[in-house]
Amino acid sequence: MRAHERRIAAARLWATEQLPYLASAVFATPVLLTDGSRTVAADPHWRIQADPELLEQFGVTELGQLVLHLVSHLLRDHADRAQRLGVTDGPAAERWNRAADAEINDDLAPWGLCPAMAPDLPDDLGQPAGQLAETYYQHAQPPRQWDCGSACDGRPRWWDDPAGPGHPPAGPPCLSREQAALLRLTVAAAIHQAAAHLPGTVPGGWLRWAERVLPSRIDWRRLLAAEIRTGIASIAGAVDYTYRRPSRRAHVVPRVVLPSLHRPVPDVAIVCDTSGSMHEQLLGRALGEIEAILSKAGLRHTQVRVLAVDTVVHAVRRVSTASHVQLLGGGGTDMGAGIQAAAELRPRPSMIIVLTDGFTPWPAAPPKGTRVIVGLLAQAVGAASWAPPPWARRVLID
């Protein structure tokens, strides 16, 4: 028993030397000896269950790599993400296990930390690096090579609760959901600090994860207002010639038709994501902010049109207040359909504001002659989304 404890202690110390910013999570996750499990796996209670017979086959480095891998499942909340995605038992759970492994190992492999027991990488699934498990899940195929436990897919294992259903988990006290969320914030802060002091020492995937977990330090209201006012000013400040009305100087040259100067008034279209994943209260707040910004900018309600979109456009109407918006929909998500429909409105809007949680594909090219601002509505800490295209201005709305 003491030999196992020494090997576990050495493996945890080795793991924290490799990725020091994960140290608080590694030491917060006890390793328990569980006879007969035939695996080394983690559970959602932030414990690692290890079969003593299997431990004898691992060296310190191999076990340390596996500890980093399993702790990564816990930090990235793969169990809850699997439940939100509707992952069930059997082949679906095995596909998710491989997808989650690929997401983690993508950041561990360049540093030589990918465990040999769970080696799946994005290349093994025929997918590019830098994606999330939700994307890899669509392409992964069973069987999995290693059972990472219920911390990966949220499906209970017998060793999670050896005493049987209804009994408190055995071993050291578990972390509550609140404590786990606080631990994730601690690790995210350590990642940012490490990246600031030693650039290039933190994998890109961990940096992106930390950015999603840490609260935004930027007031999104001020940023959104600045983007909208910039778009309005660029249109309202434009001056062009038009032949739709006679020039005031037409009497000077009677036989020549002179154009008059025209200053266009901005026309704004707001594309609201009304898919099933959207949070109506947060969407209402964002609409209220946009309403206030447009009112202060002097735009009449006749120049603001709102489109309710999931995978198709359900409603298009001019509104004078956010309470008049009809949030129809509730299906899948395709903001590309909303952007295309907004660009085809007549008169063509000079600016399109998209409010979405980011779980949507995006068009490859921007609409011609129209500025696009994407307001990403944060649904939960660590929520995954697809990044808006580079041709759109992005504002994260907390």
Tens-place pLDDT, residues 277-306 = 666 666 676 677 666 666 665 565 556 788
pLDDT at 380 (0 to 100) = 38
pLDDT at 241 (0 to 100) = 63
Structural domains of the chain, with CATH: 2-213 (no CATH), 220-238+264-397 (3.40.50.410)
- The structure tokens listed for 281 are 């209260």
Let me know if 265 is exposed, middle or buried by CB neighbors in 10 A (0-12, 13-18, 19+): middle
Of 365 and 260, the structure prediction assigns the larger pLDDT to: 365
pTM for the structure as a whole: 0.57
C-alpha–C-alpha distance, residues 16 and 333, integer Å: 41
C-alpha–C-alpha distance, residues 302 and 268, integer Å: 9
Q: Does 243 score more than 80 pLDDT?
A: no
Longest dimension (CA), the chain: 106
Of 214 and 315, the structure prediction assigns the larger pLDDT to: 214
Beta strand pairing call for 371-377 and 351-356: parallel
Task: Point out which residues pair with 397 in neighbouring strands.
Answer: 377
- The structure tokens listed for 237 are 């400040």
Check: CB of residue 338 under 8 Å from CB of residue 354: yes
Residue 73's identity, in one-letter code, is H
